[in-house]
Structure 1
């Protein structure tokens, strides 16, 4: 017999109440944001290493040691002395050996060959890491909505970069044309594309570090003027990177080793000595280095202007980001001067290039925070 129940007893179906959980709407749609971010960080690190290895390949004059473009079979290096001799014989046919490196023996050739082979091999590794990661997340259906096309872009640009790399090398693999290095403007395109890929990866990493709802809310507090100025600074820095590639392409950094003057003058001697005149802007070492210096001064001034605006931001992390940009800019200027004074030895030159990468990423970070500021509560402050 059932027990009597009081008329005042609360009637309940004894079903536990559902507790609202914030963010439940996007939880099922967020995809593997954390895992994708780690994958992109791996690609980012590999691209940074690739830029450094590419710089060392240029500084050691190794870029023309492999005279053919074999995207698949080129992954296998020479396996016997006969194979090595065959590669060396191909190298002997081009102008760089005929005009510059006739002193080389087989062992000397092996040194520059391994640098270029390693550079190309690293490119293959980057392509493989991207392809495996993209395919894995796509098959598992773990890519967040709207991100499939975005994640496809670095892979496509990586393929273009491989073709641009050979287009660059082909400009120096010549016979009877007097070319002992690659065309400087092609080197600039190659390096510029590498920095563009790096920027895309960095931006995606910044975005995936925060939830979509957080980014949407932060976007409402966008500091439009600061974002515009930092975008201009980013473009100016990119131009300076391209000018630096022109300097590296013709070893212009070793042409005048005094500072602040050049050959005892403000403007270097014979700035327009090559005919036609336009070629001086690409091939005249004195003029190319002069333009790179002047652009550096203007970039530094503009960086101070942007920093003065950035320090007025209401957000502590944004202010810190622009402080970091100014500090990196100061270090880069000092490295640039030291590089010139010591005639661009490889260890200082590669440090100057590495600092350019760091400065580039710091500008991107500051720009990102001006678009998506992180608010700090009074308690947090």
Structure 2
């Protein structure tokens, strides 16, 4: 994402403090909520809770069942669908409640984010704290948020069929759109909070940050396919898979392209490969940045890139060999957002001045 992609008015420093800080604080609050939303969505998936709400009720769905009659009615709806009939037959009402609340909280948080964004936008607009160049970006964010809600239901619908598993394609699209919204808000916030231009850097370091960031983004998206196929529960060893560097059955599906999105050994291997490639790229970037005298003003940021990438790789391996415990898997997803956030900030600071 280049600085030319998002142009934000930058008034003189004397007049830009209060207004831009208020807008940035509001956007960062929305960022924090979206961050929580993504992690909660991961927990909802990990606990197999995503198909517990079989109806889309944007308004009335905010209030969960309260009385015993309402709970029984909701449970009866769930029992009409294949997930109960094929996987959870015999589930008790109390067990149903435990998965229902995760999906309910995920949907309600989405509505809260929409409300916080819309009310904040109107308030700042009335206070005349939004610049003309900023308003179109905020409108795009709001539209993306609405489309994301529809995409979420489109994803859920893919699992309310004879095969009660959500489509890994739709899940990855849902994850990718959420991350896009998060990073878009974060980028605009960086521009609003910047008080003075960053120390200039060579175009090579900026390109390096973009390359590492792109690799990290592709790795995260490949993780969406790992999650959708539950591929993390297979081959729980590292670095070998079933005693081999390349797992058996890598090209088992026909046509060939399906292996990259639908074949568990291939999807997990490719996620590992992308993660290792990102780690190597980040290592080269960090070493060069720390040794380059002209990068002295950015050494803390460069070091932070190396630290978060190393932490994420270690967390990913630990999650895998531990057979994907929910706390570690959720932390791995949260750390992925931290990595993308730090790399986005590096791209922002290294942009052409």
Residues 1:363 and 2:347 aligned together: no
**How far does residue 276 in structure 1 lie from its aligned partner after superposition?**
4.2
**Is the 2:223–2:271 Cα contact (8 Å) retained in structure 1?**
yes
Q: What is residue 308 of structure 1 aligned with on the other side?
A: 287
Q: What do you get for the CA RMSD once the two structures are aligned?
A: 2.1
Q: What is residue 269 of structure 1 aligned with on the other side?
A: 248
Residues 1:318 and 2:279 aligned together: no
Question: 2:203 and 2:285 mapped to 1: Cα distance?
Answer: 13
Residues 1:60 and 2:60 aligned together: no
**Is the 1:29–1:145 Cα contact (8 Å) retained in structure 2?**
no
1:365/1:186 CA distance change after superposition, 3 Å: same
**How far does residue 124 in structure 1 lie from its aligned partner after superposition?**
0.3
**How far does residue 77 in structure 1 lie from its aligned partner after superposition?**
1.4
Q: How does 1:273-352 map to 2 (within 5 A)?
A: 273-311=252-290, 312=292, 314-352=294-332
1:83/1:24 CA distance change after superposition, 3 Å: closer
**Is the 2:289–2:295 Cα contact (8 Å) retained in structure 1?**
no
Q: Give ranges in structure 2 of 5+ residues lacking alignment.
A: 1-9
Question: 2:80 and 2:58 mapped to 1: Cα distance?
Answer: 22
Moved more, 79-88 or 242-251: 79-88
Q: 1:146-180 deviations in whole A, cap 9, x for unaligned?
A: 21112222212111110111111111011xx2x22
Q: What is residue 202 of structure 1 aligned with on the other side?
A: 186
Poorly superposed stretches of 4+, deviation over 4 Å:
23-31
Question: 1:136 and 1:298 mapped to 2: Cα distance?
Answer: 45
2:112 is aligned, of 116, 125, 136, to 125
Question: 2:32 and 2:296 mapped to 1: Cα distance?
Answer: 28
1:247 is aligned, of 226, 230, 234, to 226
Q: How does 1:8-27 map to 2 (within 5 A)?
A: 27=14
Question: 1:324 and 1:295 mapped to 2: Cα distance?
Answer: 20
Question: 2:352 and 2:123 mapped to 1: Cα distance?
Answer: 30
**Is the 1:67–1:90 Cα contact (8 Å) retained in structure 2?**
yes
**Comparing both structures, which one devotes a greater share of its residues to helix?**
2
Count of residue correspondences: 343
